[in-house]
A and B are shown apart, each in its own frame.
Chain A
Amino acid sequence: MTFDTIAMQVFNGLSLFTVLVLMALGLAIVFGLMGVINMAHGELMAMGAYATYATAALFERFFPSLMGIYFLVGIVVAFVVTFVFGYALERGLIRFLYKRPLDTMLATWGLGLILQQLFRSVFGPREVGVPTERWLEGAWHITGSISLPLGRIFIIGLTIVVSATVYLLLFRSRWGLRIRAVTQNRDMSGAAGINTARVDAVTFAFGCGLAGIAGSSFTMLASTGPTTGQQYVVDTFIVVVFGGVDSLLGTFLSAFLISQQQSGLELFLTGSMAKAAMLLMVIVVLYFRPNGLFAMRVRR
């Protein structure tokens, strides 16, 4: 094992960490803070990815000279589309199911299936890919065998920006204060003059928008198909549940642990075995700490 291999491995682990964080942040808000088990979360990521794909197609058609920045626009479009969809979803469906978590699961699962078929009808059953931006192609060569792919560096940067924004919004803004108040004590917040219904809708939509950003950035790594969401949603739930559902910090730490273990083990085991080992760790930890690794509160 040379130094170069180890250096690359550290980078790979870091990269996987940011991918997982990006995936899980939206769900951490929707599931963790609001308690909505959104089985269609993966489809929202796919929606973000398709929004980016559509943006790319539009730019190619109408503004070919601006292709260099379509991806940045695509991320914004993905956020807006999924945010609006999430808002409508909360108003039209989720809000009637707040007190019925099992029904929420079923309803959102069904919604996921509907969305999958919708993607299939609109974009076709074939997987689609977006063109890679010139400035994200290739890698940053540090030495002969250490080269850091630019796309990954971009995702790391994007995750930092998104995480910082989430932190500022939740813990340093008026809106975040309201969300935390509502999740801690809905009745008291209502009595104190907070429009809880509105806070719910915006929070849910924001979580969906984050899923859209995640889906959008993953178009750089993989292609998008109608069932892409299903591939992401399991990992997403694992990260959130493993970290402790109601702890945002836990989501980060759990993403870090899982990614380091996964990418480290892949070096010594086959990919499938590494995944199995990771799931085994999750099972063992959840057996002893059913509320998740970093659950802060025990009393409910």
Chain B
Amino acid sequence: MTKTIRRRQILKGSALTAAGLGLAPLMRPRKAAAAEPIKVGILHSLTGTIAIAEASVVDAEKLAIEEINGRGGVMGRKIEPITEDGASDWPTFAEKARKLLDRDGVACIFGCYTSASRKAVLPVMEKSKGLLYYPTYYEGLEQSPNIMYTAQEATQSVIAAVDWLAKNRGKTFFLIGSDYIWPRTTNKIAKPTIAKVGGKVVGEDYFPLGHIEFSSVINKIKASKAEVILSTVVGGSNVAFYKQLAAAGITGKSQALLALAVSEEELSGIGPENAAGFLSCMGYFQSVKEPANEKFVKAFKAKYGAKRVTGDTLECGYTSVYLWKLAAEKAGSFDVPKVVAASSELAWDAPEGKIKFHKSNHHLWKHARIGEFGKDGQVKILYESPLIEPNPFPKIL
């Protein structure tokens, strides 16, 4: 008896709640559009394993929003960020993206870090006609009408890196990476490029994420006499890798090491003394000499503390917000198709220098920069490429 009554009550209660939730947005009085802030979503991991890398991207995106609001917002409307935590869990990312689009009605989302999280969010964006700005360098092989990619795709860094290394450091390469899609795709692009510049791959090795035992592969690297080690090892494994390299006497002098996944930010975890002398290839370093960068670094440190450093993904997050603002202003609308259309060949003086969107493929024309890590954790830039055309679907694959 009591059981049925209870169930019925619960059913009734939940039906009412559901109706209430559904009606709530309709019942809210509409204010004049000019005064109402425009909502955007920020969707990164604030907890869980990837929070290490993503939490500071949120800082940069919030800084950009604050700056824009300080100067009157976008088309007279202030930006109101709604931050959601993807919790390093891919289904959570999809669920939160759905919430931001369907419940909050955000104009766009700045978010995702790993390719796995982006792939989880992609169908949601396409179904709900949302717009995602993705600020992480990645393997390419993707072009969604509902995603703008504001960091390097693989060809934009690896080809420049291989060319430069072959000219300046040597032509025998040892490829080492973590075992997932980004390092493997990157090396797939690297190998024909190495052949093209007359180089040779003398070894290739992959390790599970989080691996910390590199002594055997270091032994292999030594035996292979490779002049250049091209590393796509990511995350915490790098600490172990660099410490063990240093102990084995590989310090970047006799055998060069270029990392494609280590920015200034990761360096604080690795310990600058372990990486000094090694090379890095990125679209942006804190040491880039551009007036826009000086302003960016100063503002970032003023807001978050003098000890904080900027890095590639962080800068791309910051740039994303401005690119969205410019596109919306150019389109005169926050409508997703109009913003996307206005983004074609849209240019901006970013901290990394002048960049612009490709005519049609949603990626950016970007510089590749190669630099050497110093003991202070900063990068001395040795080479800066001209703007490189994005090519997310390279023929060599």
Contacts and interface: CB of A to CB of B under 8 A. Distances in A.
B51 A125 contact: yes
Contacts, number: 120
A129 B221 CA distance: 25
A152 B51 contact: no
Contacts of B223: 1-2, 5
B222 A145 contact: yes
Interface stretch (A12-20, A194-202, A247-255): A12-20
A294 to B, nearest CB: 24
Interface in B166-202: 179
A123 B67 CA distance: 30
B212 A128 contact: no
Interface string A209-242: 0000000001011110111100100000000000
Interface residues of B, number: 38
Interface residues of A, number: 47
Contact of B208 (A5, A125, A220, A275): A275
Given A120-B47, A125-B55, A263-B215, A223 B269 contact: yes
B212 A132 contact: no
Contacts of A151: 243, 247
A291 interface: no
A272 B207 contact: yes
Contacts of B51: 120, 125
Contact of B205 (A2, A12, A263, A271): A271
Q: Which of A16, A266, A271 has the most chain B CB atoms closer than 10 A to its own CB? A: A271
Interface in B231-259: 236-237, 239-240, 243-244, 246-249
Interface in A69-113: none
A22 B28 CA distance: 63
A272 B179 contact: yes
Interface string A11-41: 0100110010000000000000000000000
Given A8-B219, A221-B244, A127 B239 contact: yes
A149 B217 CA distance: 15
Contacts of B246: 137-138
B204 interface: yes
B247 A231 contact: no
A150 interface: yes
B215 A16 contact: yes
Given A2-B223, A9-B216, A127 B269 contact: yes
B52 A125 contact: yes
A126 interface: yes
B271 A129 contact: yes
22 contacts: A127-B239, A128-B269, A129-B270, A131-B271, A132-B273, A138-B247, A139-B248, A139-B249, A149-B247, A150-B247, A151-B247, A221-B244, A223-B270, A223-B271, A225-B52, A225-B236, A226-B49, A262-B213, A270-B207, A271-B205, A272-B179, A272-B207
